[in-house]
Amino acid sequence: MNLTSPTPPRRPARLIALEEHFLHAGVAATYDEVDRALLSPSRVPGLDELGDARIQSMDEAGITMQVLSHTKPGVQDMTDGRLAVSLACAANDYLAEAVALHPDRFAGFATLATPEPAEAARELERSVRQLGFKGAMINGHTRGAYLDQQRFWPIFEAAEALDVPIYLHPANPHPAVYEAYYKDYPSLGYAPWGYAVETGTHVLRLILSGVFDRYPRLRMIIGHMGELLPFALWRADGRLTPKYPQLKKSVREYFLDHFSVTTAGVFSTPELMCTASIVGFDNMLFSVDYPFESNVAASSWFESLPIADTDRAKLAHLNAERILKL
């Protein structure tokens, strides 16, 4: 009997992670007691650190670069628009300092004060042109208002003009949805299920709103292996596209043409293979969701994937380099 050694894990030359979070103290000070407890350093170690400890964790996992973004809810739930604008600027300046200290290890997504869309668009331009950020992350709805409302579209206009993507991240479910669906099973409303339903619905609202006809070069990113949409796209397309004849393309075409998908928080080979069969490896990017998920667990899973080395390179760094101009 011939025994052969198993093939060792294959580590790509460069590994870029796109949905990696931090917490700015000034923004955190505005959070309610529940969010402060959920995001405390004792509960989520590493969230408030943008230096040596974070880089050590990256090194242990073979991660070359993190694209950093402020954790939810950021400044989007604030009722004081002027304060939201001020704190978004402060969070972006804080992140820019960390990126400047470690430009080969960190890049940034801007925090935007969506309660003030015109100011958010200006801050996106400042963050890209002056701070060198690669786009922005928006944490879902703004106090129950979704981005398909045209008052938010100056943000998309700016993103298209700057040629940078918007990463649409989950938010807590709309309060009315939470009350109807999740109040009896609170954990169901968040990362296990509710976040994906919330974000997937948000994506479909954007598609049906016509925003991608208005801004045909707009690029967006979503995480968590597509927030259930790759698995539901056939039915959504077949039932929705005929009902919106004013749109220039089908629901499926908008999704495939305008959205890239990351692996953040989902380290499962069957889910990856199913997602890749829908969106293609050219539209997928590696992510961890650090520090809510383990860098080592994510990279170990990624290295063991039974995929071609050409596809591994796309996931690891080539797509990120192209989309974010890294």
Tens of pLDDT along 67-84?
A: 999 999 999 889 999 999
Show the beta-strand stretches assigned E in 63-134: 65-70, 106-108, 110-111
First to last CA, the chain: 49
- Per-residue model confidence (pLDDT) at position 5: 37
Range of 32's domain?
Answer: 16-324
Write out pLDDT tens, residues 95-148.
999 999 999 999 999 999 999 999 999 999 999 999 999 999 999 999 999 999
**Structural domain tally of the chain?**
1
Catalytic residue IDs: 289
> Is position 62 within any domain?
yes
Which are the contacts of 135, defined by CB distance < 8 A and separation ≥ 6?
109, 110, 128, 159, 164, 165, 166, 167, 221, 324
User: In this structure, what DSSP letter does residue 110 have?
Assistant: E
Q: Using CA atoms, how far apart are residues 207 and 222, in angstroms rounded to an integer?
A: 14
Whether 11 has a pLDDT exceeding 90, the answer reads no
pLDDT-based confidence at 1, cuts 50/70/90?
A: very low
The token pair at 190 is: 């968040």
Q: Answer yes or no: is 159 within a domain.
A: yes
Sign of CA dihedral 231, 234, 240, 245: positive
Which strands, in side-by-side order, build the sheet including 65-70?
16-22, 65-70, 106-108
How confident is the model over 262-288, as a mean pLDDT? Answer: 98
Residue 309, domain member (yes or no): yes
Q: Give residue 13's pLDDT band: very low, low, confident or very high (50, 70, 90).
A: confident
Q: Is the pLDDT at 4 greater than 50, yes or no?
A: no
User: What confidence score (pLDDT) does residue 8 get?
Assistant: 53
Q: Is residue 263 part of a domain?
A: yes
* pLDDT tens sequence across 283-325: 999 999 999 999 999 999 999 999 999 999 999 999 999 999 9
Pairing of strands 65-70, 106-108: parallel
Tell me whether residue 93 is in a domain.
yes
Distance of CA 96 to the CA centre of its chain: 19
pLDDT given at position 35: 82
pLDDT score, position 70: 97
Could you tell me if residue 142 is inside a domain?
yes
Identify the bridge partners of residue 107 per DSSP, sorted by sequence position: 67
Q: For residue 93, what is the domain's CATH number?
A: 3.20.20.140
Largest CA distance in the chain: 73
More confident residue, 264 or 13: 264
Residue 7's pLDDT band (cuts 50, 70, 90): low
Whether 8 is covered by a domain: the verdict is: no
The model's pTM is 0.95
Would the pLDDT of 264 be above 70? yes
Q: What is the pLDDT of residue 310?
A: 96
| pLDDT over 90 (residue 224) | yes
Is 10 among the domain residues? no
| Each residue's pLDDT tens digit, 169-219 | 999 999 999 999 999 999 999 999 999 999 999 999 999 999 999 999 999
Residue 246 has pLDDT above 80, yes or no: yes
